[in-house]
């Protein structure tokens, strides 16, 4: 089966750094995506990891360890607008070659002044 775990909620302070973890147990793992979803809005793409290591994009970085089934999203210099849900999603090799996404339950991040 497929299992993706994230903390349900996190709270952090404006200007700080926060790390959101995601662990997965999936057969045929291919790669891992992070999405941001503000309340009442559609998810937007943040990052993608397929190889082990860190991918950096401005204030956001994402890390993957395939051997440990583990990823994290690191948000630096937190801003109030970063208050949102962060969704971890994996793609797997299956009967088709398309990037079908399996989502974790999402982590709701609240940034406080």
One of 11, 38, 65, 93 touching another protein (CB under 8 A): 93
Q: In angstroms, what is the minimal distance from the CB of 97 to another protein?
A: 7
Q: Give whichever of 31 and 70 is closer to another protein, judged by the CB atom.
A: 31
Q: In angstroms, what is the minimal distance from the CB of 106 to another protein?
A: 5
* Residue 16 vs residues 32, 61, 63, 77, 112: alpha-carbon distances, Å: 25, 14, 19, 5, 10
Q: Give whichever of 16 and 42 is closer to another protein, judged by the CB atom.
A: 42
| Cα torsion through 9, 11, 14, 18, rounded to 10 | -70
Among candidate residues 35, 19, 22, the one with its CA nearest the CA of residue 101: 35
In the stretch 19-48, what mask flags binding to another protein with x, by CB under 8 A?
-----------xx-x-------xxxxx--x
């Amino acid at each position: 089966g497929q299992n993706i775990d994230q903390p349900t909620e996190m709270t952090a302070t404006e200007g700080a750094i926060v790390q959101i973890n995601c662990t997965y147990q999936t057969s045929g793992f291919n790669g891992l995506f992070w999405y941001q979803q503000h309340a009442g809005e559609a998810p937007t793409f943040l990052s993608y990891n397929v190889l082990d290591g860190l991918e950096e994009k401005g204030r956001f970085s994402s890390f993957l360890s395939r051997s440990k089934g583990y990823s994290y999203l690191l948000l630096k210099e937190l801003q109030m607008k970063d208050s949102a849900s962060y969704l971890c999603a994996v793609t797997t090799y299956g009967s088709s070659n398309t990037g079908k996404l399996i989502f974790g339950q999402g982590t709701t991040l609240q940034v406080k002044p």
